[in-house]
Structure 1
């Protein structure tokens, strides 16, 4: 069974076609991990959680393969990497222009619409460089 994924445009596309369109060979492991990733709609997931979900779904895959696949999907534009701090990274299935809240204590990431954050001024990019994207992560916690 190849899972259908719904993109933000509302288009349905099967996982194999999505991988091929992104320039990735649809190996058994990539297809299985993509089905797990995209079958639940837009979400933020760590490599460790995806590995747990793969194990629960009887997908034989190592944590190293999960990391490699997530980075390949990110490079191909299928995921966005959301770096929370030096040792915690989430992968976002929503690749549209938006930002994030990080809920401390819950280790949970939720979206902020792109128009929900205003950036007043950006520094000039270094010589020979261009600004590709600005990622804003707003850390929140319950009031004490």
Structure 2
């Protein structure tokens, strides 16, 4: 996706965010190359490599602001692993153990049955499915 600085600024404004220099710089990295999954740490490293001077705290704050504005989806599991996904559509993920990376999978062919009764005054916001993969030990595969 080829997003010009003006298009990115407009996208941030439409989401209710002021397009600051740091937000625009991080948005360029996040949204400039299609759908992807990043952690705050990996985005911080990309920013430093691109000679964008931002602190890790600023990256965390910006990712959370983008998430609150609906520009990103948070994918968290096991209490300490959090990714931010630029694809905010309804979809699921594979988690590749060896690389620690997420890969999008669609919802076609996945059927959920027998969800538990919800507590009073609640409704399902979304269902996250993460299928963990590891290399097989089968030498013929």
TM-score, scaled to structure 1: 0.88
Q: Which residue of 2 aligns with 1:33?
A: 26
Summarize deviations over 1:28-60 as a string: whole Å, max 9, x none.
111110001011100111111100011111111
Could you tell me how far apart the structure 1 residues matched to 2:77 and 2:132 are? 9
Q: Which has the higher strand share?
A: 1
Which runs of no fewer than 5 residues in structure 1 stay unpaired? Answer: 6-12
Q: In terms of Rg, which structure is larger?
A: 2
Q: Whole-Å Cα distance in 2 between the matches of residues 116 and 44 of structure 1?
A: 23
Normalised by the length of structure 2, the TM-score is 0.90
CA contact (8 A) 1:102 1:138 kept: yes
Specify which of 79, 90, 114 is matched with residue 107 of structure 2: 114
**Gapped runs of 5+ residues in structure 2?**
none
| Whole-angstrom CA distance in 1 between matches of 2:12 and 2:117 | 35
Q: Shift of the alpha carbon at 1:132? A: 0.4
User: RMSD between aligned alpha carbons?
Assistant: 1.4
Q: Does 1:4 align with 2:23?
A: no
- Match in the other structure for 1:8: none
Partner of 2:7: 14
Give the C-alpha shift of residue 68 in structure 1. Answer: 0.8
The 5 A counterparts of 1:76-87 are 76-87=69-80
1:114, 1:58 → 2: CA distance? 38
Aligned residues: 135
Distance 2:17 2:122 in 1: 27
1:63-142 matches, within 5 Å, as 63-142=56-135
